[in-house]
Amino acid sequence: MSSKEKILGTAIVLFAQKGYSGLSMRQLAQAVDLSVAAIYHHFPDKNALYLEAVRFAFSDKEQVFAQVWESGCSAEEKLGGFIRSLIDVMLQDRDFHRLMQREIQEADPERMQLLAQGVFNRQFCFLLQLVTELAPEQDAHLVATSVIGLAKYYIECQPLLKNFPGWKSEHERPEVIAAHITNLVINSLKVKTA
């Protein structure tokens, strides 16, 4: 692995943990066992390094959901499969997920557009199509975002949710969360179509 890749991979993790201003170039240099000057050889400044690290983390997410869309399942099963994959991806690549969180929180409009169009657009469109197929009379955008929001919330708020009454240990199992969300959404769609 090249130094540049090592820097980018480590930067993702550390930026996700500490945020942009929370991570110093010295700390990053120490983490990758290089000098600060060596990092500056590969990147013009801290901000450029950050942007490249975000893009680097984005780069290999596209085909995770492909098998769901390409499967011969029914629309309902596809929705269940998508929700399950979404949760698995979020749980598996927590660094990426945290980086996303920070990006969304800063809410820079330009950056949001880049993110939506350059990263998530394909998957969102597939989901939109699926929802339209399942319940053509509903607002597909609202339903699609509900699906994503539910998954996202369960993952990122788990440490908080554990402390409320009624919590069970099974609530942190991905298949349980996925089944609940799938049920919630599909049942809701059924009422209107029935």
Q: Which of these ranges, 35-43, 79-87, 137-145, 149-157, lies near DNA under the rule CB under 7 A? A: 35-43
Our finding on whether 176 is near DNA (CB under 7 A) is no
Cα 63 to Cα 67, 77, 100, 119, distances in angstroms: 8, 19, 18, 12
Contact letters (x/-) for a copy of itself, 57-96, by CB under 8 A?
A: ----------------------------------------
Q: Is 165 in the site for DNA (CB under 7 A)?
A: no
3 or 132: CB nearest a copy of itself? 132
Instruction: For the chain, report the end-to-end CA distance as a whole number of angstroms.
Output: 56
| Crossing angle for the helix pair 3-18 and 25-32, to the nearest 10 degrees | 130
Burial (0-12, 13-18, 19+ Cβ within 10 Å), 156: middle
The one among 5, 17, 41, 101 contacting DNA by CB under 7 A? 41
Q: Among 7-15, 29-37, 78-86, 106-114, which window interacts with a copy of itself (CB under 8 A)?
A: 106-114
Stretch touching DNA by CB under 7 A, among 21-29, 79-87, 112-120, 168-176 = 21-29
Q: How far is CA 186 from CA 75, 76, 163, 180, in A?
A: 11, 8, 28, 10
* Residue 71 lies near DNA (rule: CB under 7 A): no
| Distance from C-alpha of 114 to C-alpha of 117, rounded to nearest angstrom | 5
SS3 157: coil
The Cα 57–Cα 9 span in angstroms is 8
Site mask for a copy of itself (CB under 8 A), range 128-167, x = bound: x----------xxxxxxxx-xxx-xxx-xx-xxxxxxxxx
Question: What are the phi and psi torsion angles at 135 (to 5°)?
Answer: -150, 80
- When asked if residue 55 is in the footprint of a copy of itself (CB under 8 A), the reply is no
Q: Quick one: which segment of 25-33, 67-75, 83-91, 114-122 binds a copy of itself (CB under 8 A)?
A: 114-122
165 binds, among DNA, a copy of itself, none (CB under 5 to 8 A by kind): a copy of itself
Task: Indicate the helix (H) or strand (E) that contains 122.
Answer: helix 121-134
Q: Does 17 bind DNA (CB under 7 A)?
A: no
Site residues (vs DNA, CB under 7 A): 3, 23-27, 33-38, 40-42, 44-47
